[in-house]
With several copies, the nearest count.
Chain A
Amino acid sequence: MKRLDRDQMAARVARDIPEGSYVNLGIGLPTKVADHLPRNREIFLQSENGLLGMGPAPALGEEDPELINAGKQPVTLLSGGCYFHHADSFAMMRGGHIDICVLGAFQVSVNGDLANWHTGEPDAIPAVGGAMDLAIGARQTFVMMELLTRRGQSKLVETCTYPLTGLACVSRVYTDLGIFSVGGGGASVVELVEGVSLDDLRQMTGLSLGRCGVAYTS
């Protein structure tokens, strides 16, 4: 079965981000979305450690240890960007000023619950960072993840079994095998990946998925 690779997934998410959006890209996979935002679209990337108007990674040798993103990687600032402190940064988030937040996930439930911070294993050292603030703060929270675990279990679930990050906060789930809308009564397939049918997705997830569209991801 054909799956989208990580760059294809990132490109697909990027397509849904309109010009002028204020966007926070979570650590890990979502960071890739930045590479696929079209250059001719002005989109404002926020990093919760205190910058807005985040630019691409600096050239080798140009790194500044005091100019980093939430993943602690060196970044740059676009002309027109600015710096602020942590309380202001999370005010942007919690106050509903960020239009779109893209996060990774362990699980997302059909009603939009998100689990992405803790495996729940008793000996794991928990670390939450800004995940809970991001999940519930943005006007729209997108999740970007592979649909299945390595063992083939669906990460889109009826009810999350991992500890929750936020309740009913996710609106859309971008996966390597299809795009889903969640919340508001259940999950639907918004877009199919070529070669994957609605029945395939129903079987893989074990969910009675509705269908909102007939589009195929290219």
Chain B
Amino acid sequence: MIDKAAVSAEVAVADISDGASVMIGGFGTAGMPDELIDALIRRDVGDLTIINNNAGNGETGVAALIAAGRVRKIICSFPRQSDSHHFDARYRAGEIELELVPQGNLAARIHAAGAGLGAIFTPTGFGTLLAQGKETRRIDGRDHVLEYPIHADFALIKASKGDRWGNLVYRKTARNFGPIMAMAARTTIAQVSELVPLGSLDPEVVVTPGIFVQRVVEITPGAAIADLDAATA
């Protein structure tokens, strides 16, 4: 019997090691897999490359990972925000590398990785600083930039429900990068608010088929504090 359910966030992230590339779902805090990130922070690994839309908000999630000094490089579209002080400080201190990618190219490059494409010609960014040094081509009267897929060793994502085969459904705009990151990472770890019995997800409404998910860990909303207490006890 195949059971992708991990007993805890700790166990789920136990093989993420120094230097890994890690996609982290979420747009702002919606869809951010906070408990998986917390578990990653409790592991003593650094030198990570993080792929996320932002570079952390406030004190939790990606911001906490950056604050803990675990991130060597971040690939994102929108690092600077009113509450991105942890990133800002590390970036200004030259302690973190930034690869800035237009949000749609970020999505397309992640999707290309998941779909096994070698590269894509995208019109976004042509003629801008973010296309400097990149190959360009005029196709059908429109200028394009050649962009390469973004793969990752791991993806940490958050879904609403999941089953033991790794099928996932999401909730509202927390869906965002989850489905495409799941496709692009070698190992995808999903925290779900509810682990449901196999067969309870309607086959027509599964958003992420289990083939893209290697581990599922149930994190009941509100249980995070208890989980943290247990881990530090």
Contact = CB atoms under 8 A, between A and B. Distances in A.
A106 interface: no
A133 to B, nearest CB: 3
A118 to B, nearest CB: 7
Interface in A179-216: none
A82 B27 contact: no
B130 to A, nearest CB: 7
A80 to B, nearest CB: 4
A85 B172 CA distance: 10
Interface residues of B, number: 72
Interface stretch (B8-16, B35-43, B74-82, B223-231): B74-82
B173 A137 contact: no
Contact of B103 (A72, A97, A128): A128
Contacts of A95: 113-116, 183-184
Interface string B158-200: 0000011101001111111111100110000000000000110
A51 B127 contact: no
A88 B212 CA distance: 11
Contact of B210 (A80, A86, A89): A80
Interface in A129-162: 129-133, 136-137
A127 B173 contact: no
B165 A164 contact: no
Interface stretch (A4-12, A28-36, A41-49): A41-49
A127 B79 contact: yes
B100 interface: yes
A52 B208 CA distance: 11
A81 interface: yes
A53 to B, nearest CB: 8
A93 B158 CA distance: 24
A89 B179 CA distance: 12
A125 B211 contact: no
B68 interface: no
A164 B175 contact: no
Given A50-B176, A83-B204, A86-B177, A164 B104 contact: no
B139 interface: no
Nearest to A22: B211
B69 interface: no
A87 B110 contact: yes
CB-CB nearest 7 A-B residue pairs: A133-B104, A94-B116, A90-B104, A79-B199, A91-B115, A82-B206, A95-B116
Given A81-B203, A125-B98, 18 more contacts: A50-B173, A51-B173, A79-B199, A80-B164, A80-B198, A84-B175, A86-B106, A87-B180, A88-B209, A94-B104, A94-B124, A97-B212, A125-B80, A127-B79, A130-B104, A133-B105, A136-B124, A166-B128
